Amino acid sequence: MLKAILLKRGMRSDRFLSYPFLRFSFLRNFIVALDAYALLQSQYWPREDIKAIQLERIRDILTHAKEKIPFWRDKFAAAKIDPQKISDWNEFLRLPITYKTDFKSKPVAYFTDQDLFAQEHITNTTSGSTAEPLIFFQDRHYETRSLAIARRILKIVSRSTLLPVIQVRARDRRGFDNNENLWFHTYNHNQLKYRINNLYQLAKNLKGPFVLYGFSSYLIEIARLCSEREIPLHPVAVIATGEGLQPSQKEFIESHLKTEVFNCYTTTELGWLAQDCEEHNLHINSEFAYVEIVDKDGMPLENGKQGRVIVTTFDNKIMPFIRYDTGDLGSLFTELCACGRTLPQLKIIGRQVDMIVLPDNRTVPSLDILGVFEKRLEFIRQYQLIQKNVDEFFVKIVPEKETIGSDRLIAIANHLRRNLHPGIRVEFEIVKEIPSTASGKKIYFKSLINAASPHHKDAPTS
């Protein structure tokens, strides 16, 4: 029964969501509750059982992709793979890795399910940690399972699946539930200092315990402001996403907000991939995604070895991500965790809070500049912002087409001045490629002034 729920078979079939009259929120809530119930059990199941479920779900998503999406049909044909006949892992692993750039300069209809496209769906952009802007789409099937995963996370951090979560929302649109009242909107990091009392008011209005969720760099600033202004925010727990947290930064938030911080590993396009347990080990949501670590040639690496993080998610049918390169580096561990969960553990390397230090000592997280480039993804393939001096920036751009007009470059420079500081100088160079770091990671922000600081030593530049 629980296995059928995880596999979305029978009563839990996604077909439900296709009937317009069944789209009412109570039905969706019922599905989410059912999924969450199954996920709270399956995290302790024997590993072979989960592996078997994963292979079935992979077969399902590949079969769907072949039927509905030309991009995948062509890719399977080239690799001579018939999704229905995949009977073991080796066959699946013959499929070449997919990169963000594979979707670019192709019509949306080529890589999406047009039937699902005609229904309600989410459109979003990301360039995340790879500095290559991408437009992507998420459907209802993804959304319901994703909300159930969020409840599993909530249970870990607060012992309850129903505690309110205040979501600090700048660019992130990933949600714990659809309750807009719990979103604390902030335009950017810099605005937090003017809006921190609004956050406190929102928490006070709840008249009870709550969890705080947001980007690591934003949480650090909230902790700093609460301590400086003696604001008694006191969330039951904090869930940090986006950039990774250094132990000292985690401690900083915990001591200033008098709470416990839990990390989670997410990407905008893939969703909730892994989260800390009570022991603070990052467990993969294996019922939702298959995570592999491969070397630079795409060959699978053994446990504990560091390599590229490749992900296949099972629920997003409108635009499946199959053997997709996240651009992140990490390693996998299968040792048993003291928490009792059998879900494998992941370590992510090199994601960190990168602060850009500006004139008048203003600091802005490098995350705040992503929007400038994502907004212009139709003509930017890849970018890198290099800070040469406190008020001097250099932007490298790999254009989508041949070149980029000067009016567009002026607009980018102005947008950067708005997000960073009005007094900065911005220069551009249009290049054919931007080299990755020695370890194979593409980075979007590089500071030449802080190069010697320990903050940056994990992100070597090539």
Q: How far is the CB of 277 from Zn ion (least distance, A)?
A: 3
Pairing of strands 363-365, 380-389: unpaired
Q: How far is the CB of 280 from Zn ion (least distance, A)?
A: 8
Is there binding between residue 424 and Zn ion (CB under 5 A)? Answer: no
Of 144 and 158, which has the nearer Cβ to Zn ion? Answer: 158
Task: Out of 144, 161, 275, 281, name the contact with Zn ion by CB under 5 A.
Answer: 281
Task: Out of 49, 279, 335, 427, name the contact with Zn ion by CB under 5 A.
Answer: 279
Closest by Cα among 197, 171, 172, 202 to 184: 202
Question: What x/- string results for residues 339 through 368 when contact with Zn ion is judged by CB under 5 A?
Answer: x-x---------------------------
Q: How far is the CB of 286 from Zn ion (least distance, A)?
A: 13
Of 301 and 339, which has the nearer Cβ to Zn ion? Answer: 339
Is there binding between residue 157 and Zn ion (CB under 5 A)? Answer: no
Cβ atoms of 39 and 64 within 8 Å: the answer is no
Q: Which residues pair with 386 in a beta bridge?
A: 394, 446
Query: By CB under 5 A, which span of 117-125, 237-245, 270-278, 422-430 interacts with Zn ion?
Result: 270-278
Is there binding between residue 40 and Zn ion (CB under 5 A)? Answer: no
Of 113 and 276, which has the nearer Cβ to Zn ion? Answer: 276
Is there binding between residue 277 and Zn ion (CB under 5 A)? Answer: yes
Closest by Cα among 125, 116, 133, 15 to 65: 116
Alpha carbon of residue 185 to chain centroid: 19
Backbone angles phi, psi at 39, to 5 degrees: -70, -30
Cβ atoms of 185 and 171 within 8 Å: the answer is no
Q: With contacts defined by CB under 5 A, how many residues of the chain interact with Zn ion?
A: 6
Provide the strand spans (E) within 277-391: 282-284, 289-294, 307-313, 324-333, 345-349, 355-357, 363-365, 380-389
> What are the tokens at 184?
């604390």
Task: Out of 150, 223, 337, 367, name the contact with Zn ion by CB under 5 A.
Answer: 337
Cβ atoms of 278 and 389 within 8 Å: the answer is no
98: left (phi over 0), alpha (psi -120 to 50) or beta: beta
Query: By CB under 5 A, which span of 86-94, 136-144, 276-284, 369-377 interacts with Zn ion?
Result: 276-284
Q: Distance between CA 319 and CA 116 in Å, rounded?
A: 9
Query: By CB under 5 A, which span of 114-122, 126-134, 269-277, 368-376 interacts with Zn ion?
Result: 269-277
Of 49 and 279, which has the nearer Cβ to Zn ion? Answer: 279
Q: How far is the CB of 283 from Zn ion (least distance, A)?
A: 6
Question: Which residues of this chain interact with Zn ion, rule CB under 5 A?
Answer: 277, 279, 281, 337, 339, 341
